[in-house]
């Protein structure tokens, strides 16, 4: 693998890790404030019509684990020759 390719790969890995960490932090902060910016609750509600299940979801959501996995692909440097 060429040196430039190794640099691109390391940069891409770092961006993936940084974006994943930042997104997790934002989602956890929103979760602690009782917000659901992604719409997990809407999806759950659509799949579980029972009112008790919905109440269980609302009680469980504030403590639910959230993990983000961002995958960025760098395709070019943007430099013009």
pLDDT band of 1, cuts 50, 70, 90: low
State the average pLDDT for the chain.
Answer: 90
Closest CA to 64 of 22, 38, 19, 18: 38
End-to-end CA distance of the chain: 23
Quick: pLDDT tens for 9-36. Answer: 999 999 999 999 999 999 999 999 999 9
Residue found under tokens 């029972």: 50
pLDDT of 76 higher than 90: no
């Amino acid at each position: 693998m060429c040196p430039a390719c190794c640099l691109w790969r390391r940069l891409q890995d770092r961006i993936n890790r940084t974006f994943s960490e930042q997104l997790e932090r934002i989602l956890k902060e929103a979760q602690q404030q009782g917000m659901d910016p992604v719409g997990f609750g809407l999806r759950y509600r659509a799949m579980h019509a029972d009112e008790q299940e919905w109440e269980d979801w609302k009680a469980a959501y504030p403590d639910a684990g959230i993990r983000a996995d961002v995958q960025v692909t760098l395709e070019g440097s943007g430099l013009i020759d």
